[in-house]
Chains A and B, each alone.
Chain A
Amino acid sequence: MRRELTTSLLAVVVFTLLLGLAYPFGVWAIGQVAFKGAADGSLVHVGGKLVGSSLIGQDFSRPVLDKNGKPKKDSDGNPVTEPDPKWFQERPSQDSYNPAGTFFSNRGPNQASAVVFYKEGLSSYLALERPYDAGLTAAQVPVDAVTTSASGVDPHISQANARIQAHRIAAVRHLPLARVNQLIAQHTDGRFAGFLGEPGVNVLELNIALDKEAPLT
């Protein structure tokens, strides 16, 4: 038994050093040499400042102002926000697009509260987009626009979702609709090798490109 314990104790030490330290540091070293940008988080800088990661979806809302021009707060003291019309909007997020504290919405398929959530999501989506696209019906709203993603920081929206929002962006930024759709196409991550996965429009990259092309002051 004593021998068994000694061997086991040594095994704990040896394997922890090998698998717990040598392995991750080895992988890190390979990453720093071969894929530094990717291994460091695909960081995106604008004007020398870090604005996020191209892999991580982020918030594109703006604060709602009260009558005195001050940020409005809800009953819990949290600032009230609304989608900022000058940006393409991400999918809804259950964790306020926080990549440092992710969790699932755990919204069940038959939950009464889910019906309320989807109804609200649908009507606020229509309220935002219809002024710019009068013919828009609820049936045209793709499902990704009203459901929360898994990670809460899904960087993509569907092409259908982006094409609806294009009407608003074209109007607000005074760009031809065709040009906006062109930008959407340029920032769509297609299926891998043409058939794996689903195409998605990278919202952060698209918004950065928009701001470069038609900045608003």
Chain B
Amino acid sequence: MLQGWLQIAFFCAVLVACMPLVGGYMARVFAGETVGLTRIVGPLERGIYHVLRVDPARGQDWKGYAKSLMVVSLLFWIALYVILRTQTLHPFNPQGMHSGTWDVTFNTTSSFLTNTNWQYYGGETTMTYFSQMAGLAVQNFISAAVGIVVVIALIRGIVARRERSGTIGNFWQDLTRTTLYILLPLSILGAVLLMSQGVIQTFSHYLGFHGLNGTSGQLALGPVASQESIKELGTNGGGFFNANSSMPFENPNTLTNFIELFLILVIPTSLTYTYGRMVGNRRQGWAVFAAMSVMFVAAVAVVFIAEQHGAPAQHLAGVNTHAIAGSTGGNLEGKEQRFGIANSGLWAAVTTVTSCGAVNAAMESLTGIGGLVPLANLSASETIFGGVGTGLYSMLLYVILAVFIGGLMVGRTPEFLGKKIEAREIKLTGLGVLVTPMVALVATALATGTKYGAPSVYASGPQGFSESLYAYMSQANNNGSAFAGYTGYLQPNGTNVGAHGVTFADLLGGMTMMVARYLPILFVLAVAGSLVRKTVHPAGLGTMRTDNPTFVVLLIGVVILVGALTFFPALLLGPIVQGLTNQVF
């Protein structure tokens, strides 16, 4: 186990070491400063403004910003839906894929627009290369950029000194700069590194082969590296292959596994540093980072220990799950030998604290307590690092909530970075915080309380309930990982011919993702619009500080309290029952 802890500690150390570099760089990008890349990317940036006919210098108030965001999202939604429904017309379709059904396409389209990447479809058996590149991967960039620009707008609202115009930035400029200066360069770097290690990037048709024993098989191929890189970097998670990052063509060795884990967390962690820089007090950023880290490390530790212990079904069958010479032991069901327990456990935690949802091991095959960790992470509503941008804005809502609660406790008007938090902000914050859990629970109730959810469930007993709960918590949190027995699409063969969707699950899931994505975004932008006009008061003796350990503890308390109060009863019925018993169902 020591070996495992060492790997986990090393990963965290590398990540923290890169935060000031990446976070500081992002702060400069959003301040509109000239950076090293400007010489290369600058002309392209200006070209895009020219084509779009936008003036980046013209600020937008929160309503204008929200309008641009919503309109472009709507058009991207339509474009993606059309792309996915016209697969027979596509170039780069060597396998002759047909289109998916309307219901599963609705789900997939909503899923990629919202940075969820929930996958009812299997990548290598349903998607053309064109759909993967020009449809899905484009949304991997755009949905990530949208998350990031929203938090940047919120931070601008927080730091502005009584901005009468109410300007929180220019959406088009933020979108373009995020894409060109942050996502694209890092993706290219990641893709090249991954390719050097064996992640494929080819437009060849699938290759037939005859194995050593003479049986024939087929190697599915495609432009994977370019998609894999942004899939992790943008905390998207939609696998080119159905088996996602466990498939060796997506993640062939332990170095690629390390790179991909790094890509998932690098922006969410570094953004806390960016936040500290932008508000002019780095301790503010580190405080948020500290609160996130404590919960993250706890999650990793629990899942690693639980998985190393092995599963009840294995013990009952007489399988030895202890480490022996030449084997790590532990619950290796649904895990790859090269990643073992430590890297699979670490990944399970990383992918569910962020909204990534890519997996290198099967979540449904985690032990009861091991499987509780992803669910508990989802109950935290993306506050533990979370999706790119989304995580930080979700956490900042909790910061405002914690400031408010702290203010009530000491009996003073709550102030956050010199700005009074008043009724309007608290109402919007409360709504922003509660939308995601509410949508998750309502959807789960609809799926388990009516007969329509039943066709999607695979396993019996509490595992079946966990599947349903996980499905809607994951979609509401725009995560996309799954207890993958839960299904919304049935495919008799590999090219979509004769396939049909589970309409109820497809539509409910699609609606869940969109409501839980766009409503909080609108609330966050409204909070930004409200804060931006406020006067900054100098901090006095009685001001509650938001950059010290006391506040970190308070913040963690608020996150856990809200999550636990909302989800504990549901969690009891699924993973906790399984984790507390050796019984099989």
Query: Chain A interface (Cβ within 8 Å of chain B)?
Result: 4-12, 14-16, 19-21, 23-24, 26-28, 30-31, 34-35, 38-43, 46, 49-53, 55-56, 58-62, 84, 87, 91, 97-112, 114-119, 122, 138-144, 146-163, 189, 191-192, 195-198, 200, 204, 207-208, 211
**CB-CB nearest in chain A for B74:** A8
Which 8 pairs, one residue from A and one from B, show the smallest C-beta to C-beta distance? Answer: A197-B254, A160-B326, A20-B134, A150-B246, A198-B340, A118-B317, A142-B327, A159-B326
* Complex CA–CA separation, A131 to B488 (angstroms): 46
Q: Which of A8, A148, A192 has the most CB of B within 10 A?
A: A8
**CB-CB nearest in chain B for A142:** B327
* Complex CA–CA separation, A111 to B331 (angstroms): 14
Q: Is B252 an interface residue (CB 8 A)?
A: yes
User: Given A109-B366, A151-B247, A41 and B332 touching (CB < 8 A)?
Assistant: no
- The answer to whether B201 touches A109 (Cβ under 8 A) is no
Which chain B positions have C-beta within 8 A of A104? Answer: 243, 246, 334, 362, 364-365, 484
**CB-CB nearest in chain B for A29:** B201
- The answer to whether A41 touches B200 (Cβ under 8 A) is yes
User: Given A28-B223, A97-B217, A198 and B326 touching (CB < 8 A)?
Assistant: no
Per-position 1/0 for B173-207, Cβ under 8 A of A? 00100010000100110011001111111111011
Which chain A positions have C-beta within 8 A of B578? Answer: 108-110
Which chain A positions have C-beta within 8 A of B87? Answer: none
- The answer to whether B336 touches A149 (Cβ under 8 A) is yes
Q: Which of B248, B316, B331, B583 has the most CB of A within 10 A?
A: B248
- The answer to whether B223 touches A52 (Cβ under 8 A) is no
**CB-CB nearest in chain B for A62:** B213
Q: Chain B's nearest CB lies how many Å from the CB of A201?
A: 8
* Complex CA–CA separation, A215 to B310 (angstroms): 39
| CB < 8 Å neighbour of B318 from A101, A138, A191 | A138
Q: Chain B's nearest CB lies how many Å from the CB of A186?
A: 16
Q: Which of A14, A16, A204 has the most CB of B within 10 A?
A: A16
Q: Which segment, of B135-143, B270-278, B295-303, faces chain A?
A: B135-143
* Complex CA–CA separation, A192 to B3 (angstroms): 13
Which chain A positions have C-beta within 8 A of B365? Answer: 104-109
Q: Chain B's nearest CB lies how many Å from the CB of A75?
A: 20
Q: Is B100 an interface residue (CB 8 A)?
A: no
- The answer to whether A111 touches B225 (Cβ under 8 A) is no
Which chain B positions have C-beta within 8 A of A158? Answer: 326-328, 337
Per-position 1/0 for B116-146, Cβ under 8 A of A? 0000001011000000011101100110000
* Complex CA–CA separation, A198 to B68 (angstroms): 48
| CB < 8 Å neighbour of A197 from B75, B339, B581 | B339
Q: Is B324 an interface residue (CB 8 A)?
A: yes
- The answer to whether A27 touches B254 (Cβ under 8 A) is no
- The answer to whether B319 touches A146 (Cβ under 8 A) is yes
* Complex CA–CA separation, A191 to B241 (angstroms): 25
**CB-CB nearest in chain B for A95:** B243
* Complex CA–CA separation, A154 to B332 (angstroms): 12
- The answer to whether B458 touches A106 (Cβ under 8 A) is yes
Which chain A positions have C-beta within 8 A of B51? Answer: 10, 14
Question: Can you offer 5 A-B residue contacts whose CB atoms are under 8 A?
Answer: A38-B195, A56-B248, A56-B249, A103-B484, A195-B10
User: Given A28-B203, A115-B584, A23 and B339 touching (CB < 8 A)?
Assistant: no
**CB-CB nearest in chain A for B188:** A27
User: Given A27-B192, A28-B201, A142-B329, A114 and B187 touching (CB < 8 A)?
Assistant: no
- The answer to whether A24 touches B223 (Cβ under 8 A) is yes
Q: Is B325 an interface residue (CB 8 A)?
A: yes
User: With contacts A55-B198, A104-B364 known, what are 17 further pairs, Cβ within 8 A?
Assistant: A5-B75, A8-B72, A9-B75, A10-B53, A27-B226, A102-B243, A109-B333, A109-B370, A147-B333, A150-B362, A159-B327, A192-B254, A195-B3, A195-B7, A197-B7, A200-B337, A200-B338
Which chain B positions have C-beta within 8 A of A103? Answer: 122, 242-243, 484
Per-position 1/0 for B542-554, Cβ under 8 A of A? 0000000000000
**CB-CB nearest in chain A for B135:** A20
Q: Is B79 an interface residue (CB 8 A)?
A: yes
- The answer to whether A60 touches B141 (Cβ under 8 A) is no
Which chain A positions have C-beta within 8 A of B48? Answer: 14
Which chain A positions have C-beta within 8 A of B254? Answer: 191-192, 196-198
**CB-CB nearest in chain B for A4:** B71
| CB < 8 Å neighbour of A148 from B210, B333, B338 | B333
Which chain B positions have C-beta within 8 A of A21? Answer: 133-134
Which chain B positions have C-beta within 8 A of A119? Answer: 317-318
* Complex CA–CA separation, A150 to B79 (angstroms): 33
Q: Chain A's nearest CB lies how many Å from the CB of B305?
A: 14
* Complex CA–CA separation, A162 to B172 (angstroms): 57
Which chain B positions have C-beta within 8 A of A152? Answer: 243
- The answer to whether B79 touches A12 (Cβ under 8 A) is yes
Which chain A positions have C-beta within 8 A of B332? Answer: 143-144, 147, 149
- The answer to whether B249 touches A41 (Cβ under 8 A) is yes
- The answer to whether A109 touches B79 (Cβ under 8 A) is no
Which chain A positions have C-beta within 8 A of B311? Answer: 109-110, 114
- The answer to whether A118 touches B334 (Cβ under 8 A) is no
User: Given A58-B211, A192-B254, A31 and B201 touching (CB < 8 A)?
Assistant: yes
User: Given A56-B219, A109-B366, A51 and B210 touching (CB < 8 A)?
Assistant: yes
- The answer to whether B242 touches A118 (Cβ under 8 A) is no
- The answer to whether B330 touches A143 (Cβ under 8 A) is yes
| CB < 8 Å neighbour of B213 from A35, A53, A87 | A87
* Complex CA–CA separation, A37 to B359 (angstroms): 26
User: Given A39-B200, A150-B246, A198-B339, A60 and B317 touching (CB < 8 A)?
Assistant: no
* Complex CA–CA separation, A163 to B319 (angstroms): 18
- The answer to whether A101 touches B329 (Cβ under 8 A) is no
* Complex CA–CA separation, A8 to B326 (angstroms): 57
Which chain B positions have C-beta within 8 A of A139? Answer: 320
Which chain B positions have C-beta within 8 A of A16? Answer: 79, 134, 138
Q: Which of B225, B331, B332, B337 has the most CB of A within 10 A?
A: B337
- The answer to whether B255 touches A141 (Cβ under 8 A) is no
- The answer to whether A197 touches B201 (Cβ under 8 A) is no
B554-585 at interface with A (beta carbon < 8 Å): 578, 581-585
Which chain A positions have C-beta within 8 A of B246? Answer: 104, 149-151
- The answer to whether B463 touches A15 (Cβ under 8 A) is no
**CB-CB nearest in chain B for A160:** B326
* Complex CA–CA separation, A31 to B343 (angstroms): 27
- The answer to whether B319 touches A150 (Cβ under 8 A) is no
Which chain A positions have C-beta within 8 A of B485? Answer: 106, 108
Q: Is B371 an interface residue (CB 8 A)?
A: yes
Q: Chain A's nearest CB lies how many Å from the CB of B457?
A: 11
- The answer to whether B249 touches A98 (Cβ under 8 A) is no
User: Given A106-B484, A111-B313, A195-B6, A7 and B68 touching (CB < 8 A)?
Assistant: yes
**CB-CB nearest in chain B for A143:** B332
- The answer to whether B212 touches A51 (Cβ under 8 A) is yes
- The answer to whether B212 touches A105 (Cβ under 8 A) is no
**CB-CB nearest in chain A for B69:** A8
User: Given A15-B141, A101-B242, A110-B581, A197 and B338 touching (CB < 8 A)?
Assistant: yes
* Complex CA–CA separation, A6 to B213 (angstroms): 59
Which chain B positions have C-beta within 8 A of A55? Answer: 198, 248-249, 252
* Complex CA–CA separation, A143 to B124 (angstroms): 29
